[in-house]
Structure 1
Amino acid sequence: MTNNTLDKKEAIKSIVHASVESFAVGFQGRHEGELEDPEGTLNMKIHNVFIAVLGPEIQYYTALVRSLDSSLGNMLEKMAINIAKLTYEVKQSVAGPLSLKQTQDVAELLEKYKRREITPPTTEDYQFLRTKPTEQSLVTKRHDSDYYLIDKETGENFLIELKIGGDLDNKKARSEKEALLEQFAILSNTLPDKTKIKVFFATAYNRFGEGKPWRQERVRQFFADDELLIGKDFWDFVCKSDQGYNIVLEAYKEKAGLIKTSLDSIKKTYLG
């Protein structure tokens, strides 16, 4: 293992450790500080009368789990961005010219996916967007992006939409692909012709179990197999290492006790 590899591994671990430590302190402080606030995060989640009749512990746990799931997802997304910065130039928006025809062509392609006229999707389906428009009727459009990464070594461009668990309905899967394809077209219009541009749909974990087939058919209706970065593949990609997932998970486990301690403290604060 080279010194550069060791340095990068330690840098990734340091980012994970710092992220978990900050999350544990912030999550505990926020919730305990809201104890007397009727509009606090947990207090606003306990008004389901059907849960309330099951008792205060169940009422508390259901509220806390929903808050933990959402907050942890936000932490993982920010942590992945910081890890990606070790290898990539990271941007979170794409702006530039887009033609009316490109917008229409994207809509038509998505409709074909929806009607299953094109199945399964492939990356070749939208390469026509690489052709720069000749008409003058261009509009400047801006998209917020979860991750717009530029490889510092190769100059390759990657557009990634991350959904922590990846559970999308058809409308959301379609809108995610639409946003990615419009960004793909904008970059095609502004970057040199031979610049590599790839789009991905990613999840932070495999909701079916790591190593098992990912069977989210509503997403697969709009995304090709090689456009998916699921669980391990996502973390390996942002770390640019085939050991990325293992490094991140091991570092997370080393500090996960801090989150458990925070949860115990919050429980004691709310339930006594």
Structure 2
Amino acid sequence: MKKISTEEAIKHLVGTAVDAYAQGFQSRHEAEFDNPDGVINMKIHNVFIEALGKEIQYYTALVRSLDSSLGGMLEKLAINIAKLNFEVHKNVEGPLLPEQTQNIAEILEKYKRRTIRPTIADYQILRKSSKFDKTLTKRHDSDYYLIDKNSNSHFLIELKIGGDLDNKKARSEKEAILEQFAILSNTLPINSDIKIFFATAYNRFGENKPWKQERVKQFFSTDELLIGRDFWNFVCHSENGYSIVLDAYRKNSHLIKEALDSIKQTYLG
């Protein structure tokens, strides 16, 4: 039996994900056509949009649904791709000490007041914990907790598809991932390789252009960012990962376009 390459496996995963997404998106919205509580029908009650005409009303509702559901598909796709090269977990569980919680709060307050700029060195203090009671545990759901078995490296990744966060959300995301870092530091061997990242599926400012989300950069250092191309290269474990994923997506994107045309015909005739 012929063994397929990692690149072929990635392309297959992308094609399968797009096909399933297109079919699901189409069937869901068409089935809800006569349902007043359907996704599109529930989003058409803005009287100020309604005044612009039925077609604009439909498109604004559809685009919001498309944007959110497409993001969910990309998150699941990235997880499945990561499984080709990493051991993938969706949570972190273990002891978290009061002193570590206090250290995290102090670090975040300095970021908030802009008295320091974020660096990886800031939270290495979380590794230096005293003895703890292993019966006192905390569980954190994680977007991606990846383990590279070859290097025995551990990666905690917080993914936001477009990376658009306000200050409060950016702080809470950093707090959660620092707590996960502390838990792993308490449960893994001393000096284990643990890295944290904030990631986006695309660069909302344009690929290869500077990423200017200052609200995120107030709490995450440049070394903690995986933006667009860097994220896909990372989960694909390849410097060409982004190109492989995007090319495969574009080749299969006609399936989504066909689904959108069918939905439009159902709602607008």
- TM-score, normalising length from structure 1? 0.96
Paired residue type of 1:32 = E
Are 2:96 and 1:101 aligned?
no
Match of 2:193 among 183, 192, 196: 196
Partners of 1:39 and 1:135 lie apart in 2 by 51
Q: 1:134 maps to what in 2?
A: 131
Q: Does the CA contact (< 8 Å) of 2:159 and 2:198 recur in 1?
A: yes
Are 2:244 and 1:244 aligned?
no
Q: Does the CA contact (< 8 Å) of 1:146 and 1:160 recur in 2?
A: yes
Q: Deviations over 1:18-60 (max 9, x none)?
A: 0000000000000000001100000000010000010000000
Partners of 2:24 and 2:241 lie apart in 1 by 26
Deviation at 1:137, TM superposition (A): 9.2
Deviation at 1:136, TM superposition (A): 4.6
Q: 2:176 maps to what in 1?
A: 179
Give the match's secondary structure for 2:102.
helix
5+ unaligned residues in a row in structure 2: which ranges? none
Give the 3 Å change call, closer, same or farther, for CA 180–148 of structure 1 in structure 2. same
Deviation at 1:253, TM superposition (A): 0.6
Partners of 1:132 and 1:101 lie apart in 2 by 8
Paired residues for 1:79-94 under 5 Å: 79-94=77-92
Paired residue type of 1:45 = K
Paired residues for 1:1-272 under 5 Å: 7-119=5-117, 121-136=118-133, 139-272=136-269
RMSD, aligned CA: 1.3
Paired residue type of 2:241 = G
Q: Deviations over 1:116-139 (max 9, x none)?
A: 1112x1000000111232255973
Q: Does the CA contact (< 8 Å) of 1:100 and 1:138 recur in 2?
A: no
Give the match's secondary structure for 2:5.
helix
Q: Does the CA contact (< 8 Å) of 1:199 and 1:227 recur in 2?
A: yes
Partners of 1:136 and 1:79 lie apart in 2 by 38
Q: Does the CA contact (< 8 Å) of 1:99 and 1:138 recur in 2?
A: no
Q: Deviations over 1:150-176 (max 9, x none)?
A: 012111000000000000000000000
Partners of 1:107 and 1:263 lie apart in 2 by 46
Partners of 1:176 and 1:13 lie apart in 2 by 31
Partners of 1:220 and 1:169 lie apart in 2 by 11
Partners of 2:224 and 2:83 lie apart in 1 by 21
How many matched pairs?
A: 268
Paired residue type of 1:55 = G
Partners of 1:138 and 1:103 lie apart in 2 by 17
Paired residue type of 2:105 = A
Q: Does the CA contact (< 8 Å) of 2:100 and 2:129 recur in 1?
A: no
5+ unaligned residues in a row in structure 1: which ranges? none
Give the match's secondary structure for 2:253.
helix
Paired residue type of 1:27 = F
Give the match's secondary structure for 2:137.
strand
